[in-house]
Amino acid sequence: MPEEDSHLPDQTRSQAHPSPGLLARDSRNDEWISWWWKILRALIGGGGRFPLKLGEPTMRHAVFLTAALITSLGACNPPTDETGDRLARLFSGDMTVIDLTHALNATSPYWPSARGNPFKHDTLSAHPSGAPSMAAYSTPEHHGTHLDAPIHSAAGQPSVDQLTAADLFGPAVVVDVSAASAADPDYKITRQDLLDWEDQHGRIPDGAVVLMYTGWSQKWSDYDAYKNQDEDGRMHFPGFSEEAAKFLVEEREINGIGIDNLSVDAAVGPGFPAHGIVNGAGKFHLENVANVHLLPPSGAFLIVAPIKIEGGSGGQVRIFAVVP
């Protein structure tokens, strides 16, 4: 959703769940320590699952980095979860990585606006062959595959540079509503859809990024189909309902939500309730996510890496899914 369309009615803002703020972020330190512990154990040969032969410099780095981590976090626990095992398997080649990012170019779909296509990419210098050696680009923060930082829809919430790795990395939950979305392009995912997902795959894990798969990413190369405007110019694509957004931030401990089209709110509106609720709770959105159809409903792990614009309301993001 672009900034000019992001002004939410006060009523919507007031419904937003209060943010758990930095306390919730700090509470996940234990998980990070656990990861680090398992990686180090694998590096130095504990458990024998890591095949590398490492010399003293690496060991010194490991000890130094561990000391730095302990100093910065102020605590250290033994491993207590499966995350470290998943990372160890990644390094040993037992996992695949899927890029959930559309390439950004001048034909990428954008939020229709009187100002036209907002993306510019100009060659500054070129090789003798004509291939660019350096270019300059300009783009709104909310264009292409991008992240909405909490401040996007909720003043006082973190900007994109203030989000930490603990905020941005997390297990992926993929809720496939592509059939319902094909039948009704104004479909809004319901609380019941999420409960049905949990009946099949278990409770949405803490720290999850809940991705709504609508099938819209398949239309990425067809801008008209992607924005799906009617005769009056109104767009039609699916999104999160207000009740689903509330459920996720009030009854589950998610990190964020995402969708494979232009906005986590359905285009038909009214307003942008999911934006106000999820950003209002200090959580982020991912929009125009690619390749969601390649992910399992559960079990994948997301590495979300947005551009670090100081004070930014969001920005282009590279998203990788690590899939067992």
Window contacting Zn ion (CB under 5 A); options: 84-92, 93-101, 135-143, 246-254: 135-143
Q: Which amino acid is at 227?
A: K
Residue 152 known to be catalytic? yes
For position 142 contacting Zn ion by CB under 5 A, the verdict is: yes
Q: Which candidate in 102, 142, 146, 152 is catalytic? A: 152
Strands of the chain (E only): list them: 96-99, 120-126, 132-138, 146-148, 169-176, 188-189, 209-213, 239-240, 256-259, 284-287, 301-306, 314-323
**Least distance (Å) between residue 148 CB and Zn ion:** 4
**Least distance (Å) between residue 231 CB and Zn ion:** 26
Q: What values do phi and psi take at 298, rounded to 5?
A: -145, 165
For position 1 contacting Zn ion by CB under 5 A, the verdict is: yes
**3-class secondary structure, 266:** coil
For position 148 contacting Zn ion by CB under 5 A, the verdict is: yes
**Size, binding site for Zn ion by CB under 5 A:** 4
Burial pattern 256-266, b for ≥16 Cβ within 10 A else e, equals bbbbbbbbbbb
Which one, 88 or 317, has the nearer CB to Zn ion?
317
Contact characters 279-318, Zn ion, x per CB under 5 A: --------x-------------------------------
Q: What values do phi and psi take at 56, rounded to 5?
A: -60, -40
Window contacting Zn ion (CB under 5 A); options: 63-71, 145-153, 182-190, 212-220: 145-153
**Least distance (Å) between residue 206 CB and Zn ion:** 25
Among 143, 147, 144, CA closest to 160? 147
Contacting positions for Zn ion (CB under 5 A): 1, 142, 148, 287
Q: Which residues are catalytic?
A: 152
